[in-house]
């Protein structure tokens, strides 16, 4: 419940940033920002799953081709009360997995060949439970909307830089306020949007971990899988796009403590600590 409330508040903040930087250009700018937001969210809602599956060269598999995956998913979907998603295998040795789709009726789950070779059945069950939880909680839609809204802010900021170069922007009646607003639009707003987007993604990862442990009845499988995925993904990195990194169960990029602010995932150790009931903070 706390994670859901936090997500709503953060999405509201992103919307507020869009409206603020749109208002910097007056009524016309505000209208453009709103129209762009609607169009981009519509496209993200309906087409993000197809784009992601194609990007990772995911191949659909039938029940007889992947009986273990289907058997585990039958169990998890029955426990979660959602339809069976489409099942894909990604031809990649880096161990990872993701779920996509705008709702439980149009969902897909994809697992890399590396993950299937690395993980035992209990660990694969934990990973698939995590992905099924994303589907049930509609995290794919939430993350896609957050990413799209952050992208709009980046676009408007770029337009602001372009307009400032040619002396455009708000009327010159209020030079001080206009200059300050321009500075916020160009520099502060994009950074704030990125931080909020990453925060939303990390919040949803914690929620999916907790939901997975509840569905399976134990956190052990997922905790063990996360540790293995962390170790092996560093040795066999995945060629992933930053635009879809938030979808993967294990963040494909490495970084230090400062970069963790801009990460779509909490640290693996924090995730495992929360799963196993030890004190940890996002």
pLDDT of res. 142: 76
Does 107 reside within a domain? Answer: yes
Q: What is the pLDDT of residues 171-198, one digit of tens each?
A: 544 444 455 656 666 677 777 777 777 8
C-alpha span between 172 and 184 (Å, rounded):
17
pLDDT of res. 68: 96
C-alpha span between 128 and 113 (Å, rounded):
14
Does 165 reside within a domain? Answer: yes
98: β partners? 110, 248
Does 281 reside within a domain? Answer: no
C-alpha span between 26 and 172 (Å, rounded):
12
CA dihedral 239, 98, 40, 15 (to 10 degrees): -110
List alpha helices for 119-138, DSSP H: 121-136
How many domains does the chain fold into?
1
pLDDT of res. 258: 46
Instruction: Tell me the residue range of the domain where 245 lies.
Output: 2-275
Does 66 reside within a domain? Answer: yes
pLDDT of res. 195: 78
pLDDT of res. 279: 43
pLDDT of res. 102: 78
The set of catalytic residues is 131
Say if residues 31 and 38 touch (Cβ distance below 8 Å): no
Does 182 reside within a domain? Answer: yes
C-alpha span between 93 and 80 (Å, rounded):
29
pLDDT of res. 116: 96
Residues recorded for the chain: 282
Say if residues 126 and 73 touch (Cβ distance below 8 Å): no
Q: In this structure, what token pair is assigned to residue 153? A: 């802010």
Residue-level pLDDT, tens digit, the chain, 282 residues: 444 555 555 566 666 666 666 655 555 666 666 676 667 667 766 777 888 899 999 999 999 999 999 999 999 999 999 999 999 999 999 999 999 887 899 999 999 999 999 999 999 999 999 999 999 988 877 776 676 667 667 666 666 666 665 555 545 444 444 556 566 666 777 777 777 778 888 888 999 999 999 999 999 999 999 999 999 988 888 887 776 777 899 987 655 444 455 677 899 999 999 999 854 444
Does 280 reside within a domain? Answer: no
Q: What is the pTM of this model?
A: 0.77
Say if residues 262 and 195 touch (Cβ distance below 8 Å): yes
Does 209 reside within a domain? Answer: yes
């Amino acid at each position: 419940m706390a994670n859901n409330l936090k997500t709503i508040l953060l999405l509201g903040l992103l919307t507020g940033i869009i409206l603020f930087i749109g208002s910097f250009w007056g009524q016309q700018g505000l209208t453009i920002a709103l129209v762009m937001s609607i169009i981009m969210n519509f496209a993200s809602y309906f087409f993000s799953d197809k784009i992601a599956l194609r990007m990772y060269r995911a191949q659909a598999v039938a029940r007889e081709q992947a009986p273990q995956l289907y058997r585990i998913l039958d169990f998890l979907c029955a426990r979660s009360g959602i339809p069976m998603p489409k099942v894909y295998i990604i031809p990649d040795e880096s161990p990872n997995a993701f779920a996509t789709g705008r709702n439980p009726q149009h969902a897909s789950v994809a697992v890399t060949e590396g993950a299937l070779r690395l993980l035992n059945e209990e660990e694969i069950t934990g990973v698939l439970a995590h992905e099924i939880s994303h589907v049930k909680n509609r995290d794919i839609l939430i993350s896609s909307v957050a990413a799209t809204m952050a992208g709009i802010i980046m676009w408007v900021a770029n337009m602001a830089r372009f307009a400032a170069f040619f002396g455009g922007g708000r009327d010159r009646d209020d030079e001080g306020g206009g200059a300050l607003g321009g500075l916020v639009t160009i520099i502060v707003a994009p950074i704030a949007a990125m931080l909020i987007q990453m925060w939303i993604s990390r919040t949803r990862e914690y929620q999916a971990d907790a939901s997975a442990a509840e569905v399976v009845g134990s956190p052990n499988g997922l905790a063990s899988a996360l540790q293995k995925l962390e170790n092996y993904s560093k040795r066999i990195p995945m060629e992933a796009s930053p635009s879809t990194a938030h979808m993967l169960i294990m963040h494909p990029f490495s970084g230090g403590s400062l970069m963790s602010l801009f990460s779509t995932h909490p640290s693996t150790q924090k995730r495992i600590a929360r799963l196993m009931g030890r004190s940890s903070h996002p």
